[in-house]
A and B are shown apart, each in its own frame.
Chain A
Amino acid sequence: GQNIDQPTEMTATEGAIVQINCTYQTSGFNGLFWYQQHAGEAPTFLSYNVLDGLEEKGRFSSFLSRSKGYSYLLLKELQMKDSASYLCADNTGRRALTFGSGTRLQVQP
């Protein structure tokens, strides 16, 4: 099976930058997703990386290194509303996603 590892919890300050790392097994890898999930809500799509490199979408950026089995999500100019869980997931051959346990981010004033 696929193993995806990401930190369980992180804390950051409003206005700061935070990087959430994710490592995965490279066998059968098709691409890597990041989802945001607020407490009690469904996951919502943030980014999908297939190729190596950094993709930027406003305050959020996602990076992928296929050879290293490594990705990160970078959140800039943190806002209180960014307090949520961030889920890393890889795209397996069955077209389903395999999720990590998620990183709970708490943004403090």
Chain B
Amino acid sequence: DAGITQSPRYKITETGRQVTLMCHQTWSHSYMFWYRQDLGHGLRLIYYSAAADITDKGEVPDGYVVSRSKTENFPLTLESATRSQTSVYFCASRDRADEQYFGPGTRLTVT
């Protein structure tokens, strides 16, 4: 299906575990982004990527790792999950007109 998808949609994990959130887009957009959304903070940028093999930190990158080996995929890894990383994570991609399209989100709970 065309669009931007995320998996899993829901995840519960324990403190200290490694977790990878997947993001896939079918538009071949160059730019992709990861945001987290928490009450009172709105959407905050974690990492972004301008193209395959080009990534850069956003506002809140600590504790996260990203990679972009293919244009269509942009996985986000929590190397050692902490309770403060409990959040809703949105992946997005950007078209030439600067509009960002968001995936459905992953609700992550770290216990």
CB of B99 within 8 A of CB of A94, answer no
A21 adjacent to chain B (CB < 8 Å): no
Binary interface encoding of chain B residues 40-68 relative to chain A, with 1 for a CB under 8 A from any of its CBs, else 0: 11111100101000001011000000000
Task: Choose among B35, B44, B104 the residue that contacts A41 (Cβ–Cβ < 8 A).
Answer: B104
CB of A101 within 8 A of CB of B45, answer no
**Number of residue pairs A-B, CB distance < 8 angstroms:** 53
Instruction: Determine the interface band of chain B, counting residues with CB < 8 A from chain A.
Output: 20 to 34
A100 / chain B contacts, CB cutoff of 8 Å: 42
B33 / chain A contacts, CB cutoff of 8 Å: 96-97
SS class, residues of chain B in contact with chain A: strand
Which one of A9-17, A42-50, A64-72, A75-83 contacts B?
Answer: A42-50
Separation in Å of the B41 CB from the closest CB of chain A? 7
Instruction: Determine the interface band of chain A, counting residues with CB < 8 A from chain B.
Output: 20 to 34
CB of B100 within 8 A of CB of A99, answer no
CB of A42 within 8 A of CB of B104, answer yes
CB of A101 within 8 A of CB of B40, answer yes
| CB-CB under 8 A for A42 and B42, given A48-B98, A94-B48, A95-B50 | no
**Bound form: Cα–Cα A45–B98 in Å:** 11
B31 / chain A contacts, CB cutoff of 8 Å: 95
CB of B100 within 8 A of CB of A45, answer yes
**A-facing residues in B77-111 (Cβ within 8 Å):** 90, 94, 97-105
Interface centre among B35, B43, B56, B59 (most CB of A within 10 A): B43
| CB-CB under 8 A for A45 and B56, given A98-B45, A100-B42 | no
Sampled A-B contacts (13; CB under 8 Å): A33-B100, A41-B104, A43-B43, A48-B97, A48-B99, A87-B43, A94-B48, A95-B98, A96-B33, A96-B48, A99-B35, A99-B42, A101-B42
